[in-house]
Each structure stands twice: as structure tokens, then as C-alpha cells.
């Protein structure tokens, strides 16, 4: 990774001094940091020196990243270089895989999600996830799919559920298509609708951060468009991290872009370059980034 960049980020992660304030603003919030709703300036997620292992295989090495609040951060790079692995380390979903382990720090609002007294279940309620393949619960209706996280998570008031269902389905741009058949099975929908249902389901638990692992890769262009439209609204309220193989998509929807890369076969994946999306796609610092975003390999 670019050594200037990494030093800056490390400083930013630690630094709270006035002198660094302007720069932190710029990095975490981008150049349009003046919206009324944005009073908190620290990054939503800070990743420090993250290494990731599957057994003895090192999948990621020394990733450092500041993920801006209410920003869309896109992660791009060739297959198998650790993008999905990386976002799973943010909500500890990698722990489902036996022998997967992490070294380093992931700070969510300044709290280390890997601290010994942190329950991964609580982390995942703050950091929601949308998967590559739409995966609605097959035994549940559309309605129940949306409120599944709330219902299975414990405390909820029945009277609030109707409101949650309508609000989140509207946010996911699905409401008009399903409002008359909320009691039908979630798997009766088309693939694109199922994926938007999964987005609504994630929104219903009111996370702060939403991780999306190639959410549109299995969908047709029309469905992809609808999901991108929905994301435009989402970033007003949420911090979004999206893995994508679609360069145009990354360029269209994201404020920041991270490029993951493996130099030699068998090496761990690294965050090769991380910057504002406009810079990454017009004038990246490193040659590999430029080759990738212009489609010369990968």
C-alpha cells in the first residue's frame, strides 16, 4: 500500500488533536462534508493492521482503512484477493468458517469489535450484511422476512412492525411491487426483488453500517439499477461498504474506493490503494490500480 497514505491513515486513526482535524475531515468525509446531518466527523469504521488467516493460510495482510460515515465505500479488485474476506471481518461473519482468525483491530465507533467482552451477535446488529446470492428465509412470508431480525433478536413491539415493514421496503425500492402480497412467501419473488427484500430485512435491524458483498452480481441490469437507486438514498442514513466487480458501478455509486490486489500467486491480499473514487478512477497513484480500473487486467 502507498506508504504516504498508510501513514496518514494511521495518524488519523490515532489522532484527535486539533492540528489534524482538517485532514481527518477531508479523508473521512470527502470534499462535501457540509451537510447539516453530519455532525459526527470521526469515521464509522477504522481498520488497523488487519491480518486474516484461514488455518495457516494468510488471506489478508496489513489492511488499514478509514470508512467514512454516511459514505459509500466501494471495494474492487480481482477475484480471490480478499475483498469478501475483508468485509466479513468487520461484522465477524468470517467466524462461521472454522479456523478463520483475525489479527489487528476493527474499531466501530471507536470500540474494538474483537475485544474479549464483545458479543459478535451485537456487532452484527450494528453492522448489517447483504450477500451475493439473494437469501430470503424460505419458510417466511415477505412481511416476516423483513421483520425476522427484529423478531428473532428479542424485544419488539408488535404495533411497530407494520411501520418498519413499509418504511424499509420503501427504502429498498420494493414497496410498490409487493405491498399487496406481503403474506406471500419471500422466495416467490424474482431474484432482483429477493435481493431488495434482503436489503429491507437488513435495514429493519437499523444497523449503522451496511456491508454488501457483490449484491448485484447475480442480477439483471434493471434490477441492478433499482438497487443502485436505493443505495443513493441509503447513504444519507447509513455507512455503506460494497464489494463489486463492476467498475462502472463502483464509479457511479461510491465516494471512496479501495483496490485490493495480490502481486504474486499465494501471497496474502493487500489493500493496494485507497482514495476518493474520483481520484482512483482518474489519476490513481499506483500502476496496478490504473491497469485494473481501465480494464487492462482482472
Partner 1 sequence: MSSLSGTSAFYRRRKLVDRLMTVLAYACTAAAIIPLTWIVIYVIYRGLGAWDLAFFTELPQLFGDGGGVRSGIVGTLVIVGLATLMGVPVGIMAGIYLAEYGDNRLGGVIRFMADTLTGVPSIVVGLFAFGVVVVNFGYSAFAGAVALAVLMVPIITRTTEEIIRLVPDSIREASLGLGVSRWKTIMRVVVPTALSGIVTGVLLAVARVAGETAPLILTIFGTNFPISSNVFSGPSTTLSLQIFQLGGAPSPQVVEVAWGAALLLVLMVLGISLMARLVFRGQSVSGGR
If the CB atoms of residues 108 and 280 are measured against partner 1, the closer one turns out to be 108
Binding to partner 1 in span 24-83, by CB under 8 A: none
If the CB atoms of residues 13 and 146 are measured against partner 1, the closer one turns out to be 146
Helix H, strand E, coil C: the string for the chain is CCHHHHHHHHHHHHCCCHHHHHHHHHHHHCCCCCCCCCCCCCCCEEEEEEEEEECCEEEEEEEEEEECCCCEEEEECCCCCCHHHHHHHHCCHHHHCCCEEEEEEEEECCEECCCCCCCHHHHHHHEEEECCCCCCCCCCEHHHHHHHHHHHCCCCCHHHHHHHHHHHHHHCCCHHHHCCCCCCEHHHCCHHHHHHHHHHHHHHCCCCEEEEECCCCCCCHHHHHHHHHHHHHHHHHCEEEEECCCHHHHHHHCCEEEEEECCCCCCCEEEEEEEEHHHHHHCCCCHHHHHHHCCCCC
Per CB under 8 A, the segment of 59-67, 170-178, 198-206, 289-297 that binds partner 1 is 198-206
Selected from 121, 155, 222, 266, the binder of partner 1 by CB under 8 A is: 121
* 109 binding partner 1? (CB under 8 A): no
Q: How many chain residues are in contact with partner 1, going by CB under 8 A?
A: 32
What minimum distance in Å lies between the beta carbon of 76 and partner 1?
Answer: 22
If the CB atoms of residues 66 and 129 are measured against partner 1, the closer one turns out to be 129
Strand partners, 63: 50
Quick note: the x/- pattern for partner 1 over 87-106, rule CB under 8 A, is: ----x-x--x-x--------
* 141 binding partner 1? (CB under 8 A): no
Per CB under 8 A, the segment of 64-72, 144-152, 167-175, 285-293 that binds partner 1 is 144-152
* 148 binding partner 1? (CB under 8 A): yes
What minimum distance in Å lies between the beta carbon of 162 and partner 1?
Answer: 19
* 129 binding partner 1? (CB under 8 A): yes
Name the site residues for partner 1 (rule: CB under 8 A): 91, 93, 96, 98, 121-126, 128-129, 131, 133-139, 148-149, 152-153, 186-187, 191, 194, 198, 201-202, 205
Amino acid at each position: 500500500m502507498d506508504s504516504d497514505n498508510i501513514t496518514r491513515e494511521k495518524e488519523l486513526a490515532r489522532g484527535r488533536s486539533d492540528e489534524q482535524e482538517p485532514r481527518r475531515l477531508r479523508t473521512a468525509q470527502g470534499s462535501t462534508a457540509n451537510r447539516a446531518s453530519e455532525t459526527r466527523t470521526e469515521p464509522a469504521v477504522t481498520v488497523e493492521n488487519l491480518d486474516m488467516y484461514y488455518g495457516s493460510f494468510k488471506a489478508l495482510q496489513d489492511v488499514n482503512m478509514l470508512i467514512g460515515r454516511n459514505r459509500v465505500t466501494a471495494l474492487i479488485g480481482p477475484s480471490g484477493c480478499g475483498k469478501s474476506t475483508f468485509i466479513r471481518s468487520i461484522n465477524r461473519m468470517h467466524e462461521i468458517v472454522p479456523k478463520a482468525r483475525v489479527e489487528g483491530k476493527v474499531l466501530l465507533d471507536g470500540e474494538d469489535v474483537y475485544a474479549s467482552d464483545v458479543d459478535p451477535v451485537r456487532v452484527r446488529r450494528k453492522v448489517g450484511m447483504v450477500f451475493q446470492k439473494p437469501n430470503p428465509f424460505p419458510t417466511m412470508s415477505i412481511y416476516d422476512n423483513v421483520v425476522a431480525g427484529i423478531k428473532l433478536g428479542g424485544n419488539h413491539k408488535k404495533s411497530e412492525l407494520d411501520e418498519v415493514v413499509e418504511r424499509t421496503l420503501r427504502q429498498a425500492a420494493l414497496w410498490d411491487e409487493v405491498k399487496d402480497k406481503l403474506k406471500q412467501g419471500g422466495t416467490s419473488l424474482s431474484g432482483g426483488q429477493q435481493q431488495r427484500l434482503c436489503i429491507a430485512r437488513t435495514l429493519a435491524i437499523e444497523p449503522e453500517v451496511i456491508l454488501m458483498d457483490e449484491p448485484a452480481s447475480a442480477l439483471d441490469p434493471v434490477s441492478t439499477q433499482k438497487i443502485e437507486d436505493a443505495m443513493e438514498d441509503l447513504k444519507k442514513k447509513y455507512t455503506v461498504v460494497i464489494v463489486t466487480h463492476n467498475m462502472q458501478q463502483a464509479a457511479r455509486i461510491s465516494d471512496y474506493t479501495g483496490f485490493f490486489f495480490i502481486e504474486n500467486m499465494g501471497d496474502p491480499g493487500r489493500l493496494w490503494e485507497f482514495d476518493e473514487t474520483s481520484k482512483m478512477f482518474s489519476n490513481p497513484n499506483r500502476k496496478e490500480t490504473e491497469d485494473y480500473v481501465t480494464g487492462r487486467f482482472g
